[in-house]
Amino acid sequence: MFEVNPFDIDIGQYKVMLHQSDARQLGINFGDRVRVRTKGAAVTAILDVTSQMVEQGHIGIFNEAMKELKGAKTVDIMPAPKPASVAYIKKLMDNQKLTEDQIRAIVRDIVDNNLSEVELSAYLTASYIYNMDAQQTEWLTRAMIETGDRIYFDTHPVVDKHSIGGVPGNKVTMLVVPIVAAAGLLIPKTSSRAITGAGGTADLMEILAPVEFTADEIKELTETVGGVIAWGGATNIAPADDKLIKAEYALSIDPYSQMLASIMAKKGAVGAEAVVVDMPTGPGTKLATAEEARKLAKDLMDLGERLGIRVECAMTFGGSPVGRTVGPAVEIKEALAMLETGTGPNSLREKSLALAGILLEMGGMAVRGDGGRMAEEILTSGRAHKKLMEIIEAQGGDPNVKSSDIQIGEFRQDILSPATGYVVAFYNKRIIEIARLAGAPADKKAGVIIHKKMGEMVKKGEPLLTICSSSDWELECATKECALMDSGRQMPIVVEGMLLERYPRYTQI
Amino acid sequence: MFEVNPFDIDIGQYKVMLHQSDARQLGINFGDRVRVRTKGAAVTAILDVTSQMVEQGHIGIFNEAMKELKGAKTVDIMPAPKPASVAYIKKLMDNQKLTEDQIRAIVRDIVDNNLSEVELSAYLTASYIYNMDAQQTEWLTRAMIETGDRIYFDTHPVVDKHSIGGVPGNKVTMLVVPIVAAAGLLIPKTSSRAITGAGGTADLMEILAPVEFTADEIKELTETVGGVIAWGGATNIAPADDKLIKAEYALSIDPYSQMLASIMAKKGAVGAEAVVVDMPTGPGTKLATAEEARKLAKDLMDLGERLGIRVECAMTFGGSPVGRTVGPAVEIKEALAMLETGTGPNSLREKSLALAGILLEMGGMAVRGDGGRMAEEILTSGRAHKKLMEIIEAQGGDPNVKSSDIQIGEFRQDILSPATGYVVAFYNKRIIEIARLAGAPADKKAGVIIHKKMGEMVKKGEPLLTICSSSDWELECATKECALMDSGRQMPIVVEGMLLERYPRYTQI
């Protein structure tokens, strides 16, 4: 019988702490499982061992386990076996193949928070080092679908879009969804918020309407207006992914099979039958070469076939931002303006129409080769704009919003070209850094407007960029980051003929 | 400025928790580092993110970081880079070679608790999958030595002994240390407590004397009486190992290069010049085949050469317990009796004399081939017994202790042979399980006395084992574990001609 010390901390797991003498007495150690029982309640928890935090005869119990034990004052404990999935993770570490049941057990335990951080990290590290084969990746994807909410549509076809990411300003979803929905296809799009970027589609859409919906609400919205742009993180769709992303981020890894499974699980769970995958390719993106992009395309299409989902992939140019804006408000303003007028930056217009066109063809709305033209017609006719306004209204936003209503940061700074010439280098990552320093994505009004892109001519003293922010000191931070001749820093934009370094060094904008 | 919520939990790391909106505002995520500052104090901590535990504008700070911040009420925070070692761990995951400085940075951050559990686990998993080469293993060993306390002796030679473990009843250190110390060699032996076994050497020695000493005390004791038998866990010798063992245990892995480094770091740190390594080999041990043992021996000797430590390895029979006792009190009683009388079970006597003999030869006390004889002479003359009593006294124990004084568990049960015949199978792991069920190693008086070993003749009704314990119900548990015909359980001892299964099943001792 142990006296309970409640630890008022959400630790993300069923976790308890014993004095090391008591653990020794019970023959158990750090990371072992214990069955903790009280009258009418019990929980299996991960053990931590301490010499100071709890006295002998006491047990520290964190919030999650405490809830299951209904505030018990005393508990019995006994050693319990580790989840079977821990042994399967060991098999992965030994590069052995897992069965479907074993993969499902791992995913189930990830979703149920039954694995410790040490175990979860070992799973990801082994997954990173040893890719799964196609059969195992299929099982992994199915397990990720089955362990979360699913949407089954009565109307068809259901299409979806995914971007591999890695290119700034990629607001194409804001155009693709209304175009294909206006054509009569269903597109229940879940998007992410930015983690390391300047703004995810969910961050953008949130300026226009709420984005947090359950799977059931997404189904209803999609059936009502044809499309939705929701934040995936608010749903319980493929929830294993959210847990994995946390640890992947901490390790800066993106295990390949796990990435394939995570993409396709989210599509499979919402009932998508046809999916287009945008693959920004080029130096500075996630897909440095066309070869890598082709391999990924093949693997995604193979996985789709195994799951009964048609997949087409579009390799797009990722070396330069899409459109001329980076940051939630400036991006949504640009996207809205294009829907209102049918015109705007070519890089945004062409890419959006191409991706929408592929979906129109896959969904049977256009004959092969005619999708792009149809998408253009839907955009220029204003039908896409009308559809987005319907979607905004359905999601609870203002259907009369105009691009001119969108507020951007009141503190602004132009970055002027120090020379006359062509833009000969343009570094995406630096643009994202500058937008983040200005406050994006948390400050939705922060961002970068790009006046000159790769290959364009600029005169000395003309603006290359405009940075905007809601905060004067964040604007200053971001502006400093653009300083020429700042030692060790890569200029975001290089103009031919521009002085790259000068001695002695001094700072000049 | 954030308001501090102190979290009164020792979490083993500098750790803080922010509301997810604040983390987003700062552009940081789970696992990132933050610099936390208050007037006159600062600490770099690992970030966790929550939606419930702390409000916006507050920061949860765990004990370790709170101490550094001297009870601050408000703090400033700013993003900080991850330790460089995280990038080096990523290199390991990519199977790239690390430099000496990079390996040292990882070990330093392990010792300083600068790595999160996710990062530490990734290091171990990658180490498990990709072995380091000899050069890297040397650097790893040196880093483990340098990040802890070291002993430099003025007198020489200094020798040491290590066992790979995996065989029950292996109390040979209790004989080897007094024998070689009696011959005039210095042997500053640090030993472990049992984690998954029934009793480590430190658990045994603790019955006779205190075992918790600092490196300085170990040096002084060794210089005074020639030898010491201390608990390594109480020292700061190669402290990285203690942190790694925790996570290795949780994952049930023992990465090969890391094992080599951990063994040799402990020997290098105490200034050992010659080391004998006991390698119990055979089915059911850590080294299943002679081939594996030979590879390990070669790698240990190579590593020793790189470190300037002479290493010899002794492959020993690990298929059966050493001596006839398993558990702290019964083992120490057996070891003391052998020192008192010079006689006892052959498996214990021969092995102890062989290992001591190797050290006597390596230390220049005996010519090659004569060490075993000399060791035997020291044992039978009573000099080894006298030396152990000196060591016990120096460590603070009773130098007049006799084997007959050692108390074993008052609750005892004989396990009788159900048939007449030869013992044809003997399962070490089951013997350890039975000793643990009886209460070992926490209950020092719990254990198993083995009456019949592999190949010995037994008559029906004669005892095979005696189990002892301080607790009647633990004795009952352990006794049940020996039950014949218990479905799915492996009998610890099989006697030829004995009924292995019978239908219908029933339980009989």
Chain A positions touching chain B (beta carbons under 8 Å)? 7, 9-10, 21, 24-25, 27, 29-31, 50, 52-53, 60, 86, 89-90, 93, 95, 116-122, 124-126, 128-130, 195, 246-247, 249-253, 436, 441-443
CA distance A241 to chain B (A): 15
* Cβ-Cβ contacts under 8 Å, A24 against chain B: 441-442
Q: Which pLDDT value is given to residue B94?
A: 96
A432's tokens:
């994202």
Going from the C-alpha of A399 to that of each of A201, A390, A393, B321, B350, the distances in angstroms are 18, 7, 5, 80, 90
Q: What are phi and psi of A141, to 5 degrees?
A: -65, -45
Domain A2-80 -> CATH class? mainly beta
The DSSP letter of residue A27 is: T
Block residue for tokens 């005074």: B224
Other beta carbons within 10 angstroms of residue B13's beta carbon come to 18
Residue A409 clears pLDDT 80, i.e. is over it: yes
Query: Dihedral sign, CA of A354, A360, A365, A368?
Result: positive
Q: What is the ipTM of this complex?
A: 0.89
Contact A118 B29 (CB under 8 A): no
Residues in chain B: 509
Average pLDDT, integer, range A82-97: 96
* Cβ-Cβ contacts under 8 Å, A7 against chain B: 9
Of all residues in chain B, the one with the smallest CA distance to A444 is: B25
b/e per residue B440-473 (b: at least 16 CB within 10 A) = bbbbbbbbbbbbbbeeeebeeeeebbbbbbbbee
Tell me the pLDDT tens digit for each residue of B349-368: 999 999 999 999 999 999 99
Q: Which residue among A10, A118, A124 places its CB closest to the CB of B251?
A: A118
Confidence of residue B60 (pLDDT cuts 50, 70, 90): very high
- The residues near B255 (Cβ < 8 Å, ≥ 6 apart) are B124, B127, B128, B131, B248
B50's tokens:
């929550």
A280's tokens:
């920004």
Contact A119 B251 (CB under 8 A): yes
Residue A487 clears pLDDT 80, i.e. is over it: no
Q: Which pLDDT value is given to residue A370?
A: 96
- Average pLDDT, whole number, for chain A? 92
d(CA B29, CA A247): 11
Coil, strand, or helix at residue A337? helix
CA distance B439 to chain A (A): 7
* Cβ-Cβ contacts under 8 Å, A21 against chain B: 442
CA B27 to chain centre: 43
Contact A250 B50 (CB under 8 A): no
Confidence of residue B499 (pLDDT cuts 50, 70, 90): low
Contact A117 B117 (CB under 8 A): yes
Q: Which pLDDT value is given to residue A484?
A: 53
Block residue for tokens 């014993």: A18
Confidence of residue A506 (pLDDT cuts 50, 70, 90): very low
Which residue, among A149, A133, A115, has the nearest Cα to A246 in the 3D structure?
Answer: A115
Match domain B411-495 to its CATH number in 3.90.1170.30, 3.10.20.30, 3.40.50.11540, 3.40.50.2000: 3.90.1170.30
Residue A500 clears pLDDT 80, i.e. is over it: no
Contact B249 A7 (CB under 8 A): no
Match domain A159-223+268-403 to its CATH number in 3.40.1030.10, 2.40.30.170, 3.90.1150.10, 1.20.120.80: 3.40.1030.10
A145's tokens:
């679908």
Q: Which residue among B53, B116, B125 places its CB closest to the CB of A122?
A: B125
d(CA A171, CA A199): 9
Residue B127 clears pLDDT 90, i.e. is over it: yes
Q: Which pLDDT value is given to residue A427?
A: 87
Going from the C-alpha of B240 to that of each of B112, B113, B114, the distances in angstroms are 9, 10, 12
Residue A345 clears pLDDT 50, i.e. is over it: yes
d(CA A32, CA A26): 11
CA distance B187 to chain A (A): 29
Other beta carbons within 10 angstroms of residue B70's beta carbon come to 10
Of all residues in chain B, the one with the smallest CA distance to A254 is: B90
Which residue, among B450, B476, B477, B480, has the nearest Cα to B465 in the 3D structure?
Answer: B450
Tell me the pLDDT tens digit for each residue of B446-461: 999 999 998 899 999 9
Going from the C-alpha of B136 to that of each of B98, B140, B241, the distances in angstroms are 7, 6, 17
d(CA B238, CA B236): 6
Average pLDDT, integer, range B118-132: 96
d(CA B192, CA B241): 12
Q: Residue B29: enclosing H or E segment and its boundaries?
A: none
The DSSP letter of residue A234 is: G
Block residue for tokens 């072995």: B131
Coil, strand, or helix at residue B235? coil
Task: Single out the catalytic residue among B112, B254, B302, B414.
Answer: B254
Which residue, among B224, B178, B174, B180, has the nearest Cα to B386 in the 3D structure?
Answer: B178
CA distance B242 to chain A (A): 12
Q: Which residue among A50, A122, A125 places its CB closest to the CB of B10?
A: A50
Confidence of residue B494 (pLDDT cuts 50, 70, 90): confident
Rg of chain A taking only CA atoms, in angstroms = 26
Tell me the pLDDT tens digit for each residue of B267-313: 999 999 999 999 999 887 889 889 999 999 999 999 999 999 999 99
Q: Report which listed range, A49-63, A217-231, A450-464, is most confident.
A: A217-231
d(CA A318, CA A165): 9
Q: Which pLDDT value is given to residue A127?
A: 96
Average pLDDT, integer, range A9-27: 89
Query: Dihedral sign, CA of B284, B285, B288, B289?
Result: negative
The DSSP letter of residue B98 is: P
- The residues near B327 (Cβ < 8 Å, ≥ 6 apart) are B198, B199, B435, B438, B440, B441, B444, B445, B446, B447, B448, B468
- The residues near B331 (Cβ < 8 Å, ≥ 6 apart) are B169, B171, B174, B199, B204, B323, B325, B447
CA B313 to chain centre: 18
Tell me the pLDDT tens digit for each residue of A45-87: 999 998 888 999 999 999 999 999 998 999 999 999 999 999 9
Other beta carbons within 10 angstroms of residue B126's beta carbon come to 23
> Domain extents for chain A?
2-80, 84-130, 159-223+268-403, 411-495
Residue A321 clears pLDDT 80, i.e. is over it: yes
d(CA A287, CA A428): 14
Confidence of residue B506 (pLDDT cuts 50, 70, 90): very low
Confidence of residue A509 (pLDDT cuts 50, 70, 90): very low
Chain B positions touching chain A (beta carbons under 8 Å)? 7, 9-10, 21, 24-27, 29-31, 50, 52-53, 60, 86, 89-90, 93, 95, 116-122, 124-126, 128-130, 195, 246-247, 249-253, 436, 441-443
Block residue for tokens 């208050």: B38
Rg of chain B taking only CA atoms, in angstroms = 26
Q: Which residue among B21, B27, B251 places its CB closest to the CB of A436?
A: B27
B264 near B303, Cβ under 8 Å?
A: yes
Residue B509 clears pLDDT 80, i.e. is over it: no
Q: Which pLDDT value is given to residue B10?
A: 84
Task: Single out the catalytic residue among A76, A112, A254, A370.
Answer: A254
- With pLDDT > 70 as the criterion, what percentage of chain B qualifies? 96
Mutate to test the interface with A, among B7, B8, B9, B50 (most CBs of A within 10 A): B9
The beta-carbon contacts of B109-112 under 8 Å, at least 24 apart in sequence, are B109/B83, B109/B85, B110/B240, B110/B243, B110/B244, B111/B147, B111/B148, B111/B239, B111/B240, B111/B243
* Cβ-Cβ contacts under 8 Å, B206 against chain A: none
- Average pLDDT, whole number, for chain B? 92
Residue A490 clears pLDDT 70, i.e. is over it: no
Confidence of residue A319 (pLDDT cuts 50, 70, 90): confident
Q: Which residue among A31, A128, A250 places its CB closest to the CB of B119?
A: A250
Residue B487 clears pLDDT 60, i.e. is over it: no
Confidence of residue B504 (pLDDT cuts 50, 70, 90): low
Confidence of residue B505 (pLDDT cuts 50, 70, 90): very low
CA distance B9 to chain A (A): 7
Compute the count of residue pairs across chains A and B with CB atoms less than 8 Å apart.
121
Contact B120 A125 (CB under 8 A): no
CA distance B440 to chain A (A): 8
Contact B117 A122 (CB under 8 A): no
Q: Which residue has the higher pLDDT, A233 or B488?
A: A233
Average pLDDT, integer, range A336-354: 96
The one-letter code for the residue type at B108 is R
- Residue B81: Cβ-neighbour burial (10 angstroms; 0-12, 13-18, 19+): exposed
Q: Which pLDDT value is given to residue A488?
A: 52
Q: Which pLDDT value is given to residue A507?
A: 41
Q: Which residue among A118, A130, A442 places its CB closest to the CB of B117?
A: A118
In CATH, what number does A84-130 get?
A: 1.20.970.10
* Cβ-Cβ contacts under 8 Å, B477 against chain A: none
Which residue, among A249, A199, A191, A172, has the nearest Cα to A435 in the 3D structure?
Answer: A199
Three-class DSSP labels, B122-189:
HHHHHHHHCCCCHHHHHHHHHHHHHCCCCCCCCCCCEEEEEECCCCCCCCCHHHHHHHHHHCCCEEEE
Going from the C-alpha of B374 to that of each of A161, A365, B314, the distances in angstroms are 80, 94, 18
d(CA A272, CA A362): 12
Which residue, among B94, B107, B93, has the nearest Cα to B137 in the 3D structure?
Answer: B107
Q: Which pLDDT value is given to residue B395?
A: 98
CA B147 to chain centre: 19
The one-letter code for the residue type at A64 is E
Alpha helix segments (H runs only) across A308-446: 328-341, 346-362, 371-380, 383-394, 428-437
Which residue, among A28, A27, A65, has the nearest Cα to A45 in the 3D structure?
Answer: A65
Question: Which fold, B159-403?
Answer: Pyrimidine Nucleoside Phosphorylase; Chain A, domain 2 (3.40.1030)
Tell me the pLDDT tens digit for each residue of B7-25: 888 888 899 999 988 998 8
Q: Which residue among A29, A128, A442 places its CB closest to the CB of B195?
A: A29
**Is A254 an annotated catalytic residue?**
yes
DSSP codes of every residue in B375-401: HHHHHHTTHHHHHHHHHHHHHTS-TT-
B9's tokens:
């939990």
**pTM for this predicted structure:** 0.91
